[in-house]
Amino acid sequence: MSVTQTIPSWQVLDEIGEPMAAAFLAHAADPPLLRFCHALKRYHETCPLPAYGGESLYPCSGAIYGAQELIQFHYSASMCFNRAALQRRIDEADRPDVAAALRDFQASIEGYPGVGGYTHSIIHYGRILREGLDAYRTRAEAVTDRDFREAMLVLLDGIAVLHGRMVAHLRATDDPTAERIADALDRVPFAPATTFYEAMVATNFLFYLDGCDDLGRFDQDLWPYYRDDLAVGRVTPDEALHWVGQLFANVDTTFSWNCAIGGTAADGAQGSNALTLVCLQAAKGRRRPNLALRLRRDTPEEIWDQALDTISGGTGIPALYNEEEYVRAIRHADLGVAEEDLPHFAFGGCTELMIHGRSNVGSLDDTFNLALSFEQSLHRHLPACATFEQFMVRLKEDLTADIIAMCDRVSANQKSKSLWQPQPLRTLLIDDCIDNEMEFNAGGARYNWSVICIAGLANTYDSLAAVKRLVYDERAVTAEELLGALRDNFAGQEELRQRLQRCPHYGNDDPYVDDLAVAVSTHVFSEFMGQTPWRGGRFLASCLMFVTYGMFGAQVGATPDGRLAQTPVADSAGAVQGRDTSGPTALLRSVAKVPHFLAPGTLVINIRFTRRLFDDPAMRQQLKALIRTYFELRGMQLQINVVDQRVLQAALDDPDAHRDLIVRVGGYSEYFHLLSRDLQVSILERVEHES
């Protein structure tokens, strides 16, 4: 009598090249965090390793995640289930046991809902460099919650396997540089780094392990190692420049994000240093990382000059940040940030405010399309409002209702994430999840808040100014006539559209429109800050449009600023492209009137200058003075494009011939040829300031 032995479904999944899905199915009875850790461990045991091509750091080139189809790990959404691919694999299965195994996996993820929001974050690189992952294991072993403890230890075991596989891969190449990397990896990141080179190797490994997101306060974390090695001749500035350049190339290749440099050191002193200079030099001409330079009143001139040299390379980096005003904004927001943690603020993604290594910030948790909300309110209320003041009351009521609805939706998403989408690596590597014995998305990080993007700010300001002037002040058009023209997208109404476009524009230091900008922005930013996310903290407003200002414009019909339906909205929190016609001083004076400190998620401000302002010494001094004055006026962020108009026009005509052209878009830099036609045109429409 023969007995047929049935192979478990998880083994079948392993056999067909889906070991992460196999582990997920095999541990279906475990709590979600432990289940996810087992899946990641199996991935680390089996994933293909990046090729080594003689680079000075390893891993290099593409990210290590994404090799399997049914589940993919991502730093934001944790485990992403490819349900469409799963159904296709079931339909195409040529073996009954494979089809059955796939259906079993399908049933096991049936209850996992999709959740919204994005979560850039920064692991605690500096602490890992100082203590080593072996110290993290010791802390995990002391955890009293059995499932949580097992999850962290399983994850650490998987990291150790991946680490060992990479060392063996390097040693098999018979390359002296690979041998040097392997020698460093024999120590780090499990033991503390002892040299700058080891710290660089460990940082690069951790960057890839986390999923290639943000580097955080890189120059502060690695400065002690660089300083000490420089003092004894163990490293030269040229070697450091080469290694940092390789790390930055890895950030660019993996389409990764932010690196904050300069600002204030942990002890409160001026923090820009020789490694800050290296970072600025390494960034010239690059698209990524999205370098954020924190500037204090006492930042050394050599940092300013190197920053302007790097900006003059034309890629829009570094963006410049007002240190003192960010500190004021964090305190005002009452986010519970301890004074000793204040120096460690940094930015994720485009430039969302967070605390390096210590926070879970929804960034971006959602985008509030102010231009759309305004449009709906306009058509709902304008004919019934006898005065402009009445309309402003109705508009603010509508904005408040829309904001509360969005905040409720974000909180529901946060709660769902805590139940269904644990973040194993960030639970391990961000303070204080281990000590709190609480998963990252459940609130385990030391600080929690949410960043919300606001789209269409300047379009709303300009539209309000046009409505006030033509409908109420001058009585040149009735509410019904204006709304009819908007519904028809100005068809046959070009004269009216031109009159609307001649009304005051934000970005020209005109109180008529600037006062409206202050009123609306104060209301919107305050309403968000007054709401509490499910995970704690506050909702922080921002304006980080990256390449989405075209997408959000497509949601909005024609607006009273003369903008046509479905065309892009403003690309930042500054003026609408092409409308800041009174010079850079007027633009920045307008922008500085808006209460930036009520939107510490970051209001991105784009400005464009000609190259001669950087090349001429006298004009360079004037440019520094302009930026410093803007910061004294409490502006918080500024990013500068330096691209010749003729080059942009040529790239618009033939994008493929200018594939290396990089421009600052919204909150980061991008290759010009990757932008949509509408966004390419919007870049050309920006005013190029000469003085």
Q: What is the pLDDT of residues 490-538, one digit of tens each?
A: 999 999 999 999 999 999 999 999 999 999 999 999 999 999 999 999 9
Calculate mean pLDDT across residues 65-84. Answer: 91
The answer to whether residues 415 and 481 belong to one domain is yes
Q: Could you tell me the pLDDT band of residue 2, with boundaries at 50, 70 and 90? A: very low
Percent of the chain at pLDDT above 70?
94
At 361, which helix (H) or strand (E)? strand 359-369
Q: Please give the pLDDT value at position 1.
A: 31
pTM: 0.94
For residue range 275-308, list pLDDT tens digits in order.
999 999 999 999 899 999 999 999 999 999 999 9
pLDDT of residue 683: 63
Residue 639 domain flag: no
449 and 120 Cβ atoms separated by less than 8 Å:
no
Residue 671 has pLDDT above 70, yes or no: no
Instruction: Inform me whether the pLDDT recorded for 349 exceeds 90.
Output: yes
Q: Are residues 32 and 156 in the same domain?
A: no
pLDDT at 427: 98
Residues 369 and 462 grouped into a single domain: yes
Query: What single-letter DSSP state applies at residue 383?
Result: G
**Same domain flag for 78 and 137:** no
Please give the pLDDT value at position 691. 57
Among 84, 99, 111, CA closest to 28: 111
Residue 402: what residue type? D
Question: What percent of the chain has a predicted confidence (pLDDT) above 90?
Answer: 82
Per-residue confidence (pLDDT) for residue 111, from 0 to 100? 81
Q: Is the pLDDT of residue 562 over 90?
A: yes
Domain assignment of residue 690, yes or no: no
Same domain for 57 and 138, yes or no, is no
Please report the beta strands in 167-289, taking only residues with DSSP state E, as ranges in sequence order: 258-262
Instruction: Supply the range of the domain harboring residue 228.
Output: 125-256+263-338+346-355
At 198, which amino acid appears? E
pLDDT of residue 616: 85
486 and 401 in a common domain: yes
What does the mean pLDDT of the chain come to? 93
For residue range 319-343, list pLDDT tens digits in order.
999 999 999 999 999 999 999 999 9
Q: 81 and 141: one domain?
A: no
* Position 115 confidence tier, pLDDT thresholds 50, 70, 90: confident
Last residue of a domain, one of 562, 579, 604: 604
State residue 539's pLDDT score.
98
Q: In this structure, is residue 677 part of a structural domain?
A: no
103-112, 464-473, 678-687: least confident range:
678-687
Mean pLDDT, rounded, for 232-257: 97
pLDDT of residue 611: 81
> Considering the domain boundaries, does residue 97 fall inside one?
yes
Closest CA to 511 of 589, 444, 458: 589
Question: 491-496: which pairs have CB atoms within 8 A and are 24 or more residues apart?
Answer: none
d(C-alpha 560, C-alpha 573), whole Å? 18
Q: Is residue 3 pLDDT above 50, yes or no?
A: no
The amino acid at 102: L
Residue whose C-alpha is closest to residue 99's, from 5, 16, 4: 16
Whether 289 and 317 share a structural domain: yes
Number of domains in the chain: 3
**Tell me, what's the pLDDT at 660?**
58
Q: Which helix (H) or strand (E) holds 411?
A: helix 388-420
Q: Which of 573, 604, 635 is the last residue of a domain?
A: 604
How big is the chain by its Cα radius of gyration, in Å?
A: 26
Instruction: Decide which of 393 and 314 is more confident.
Output: 393
Q: How far is CA 391 from CA 33, 201, 385, 462, 499, in A?
A: 50, 59, 6, 15, 21
276 φ, ψ to 5°? -60, -45
- Check residue 504 and give its pLDDT: 97
> What does the pLDDT read at residue 287?
86
Q: Which amino acid is at 685?
A: E
Q: Which residues contact 231 (CB under 8 A, 6 or more apart)?
A: none
Q: pLDDT tens-digit profile of 621-670?
A: 999 999 999 999 999 999 998 876 676 677 777 777 657 565 656 665 66
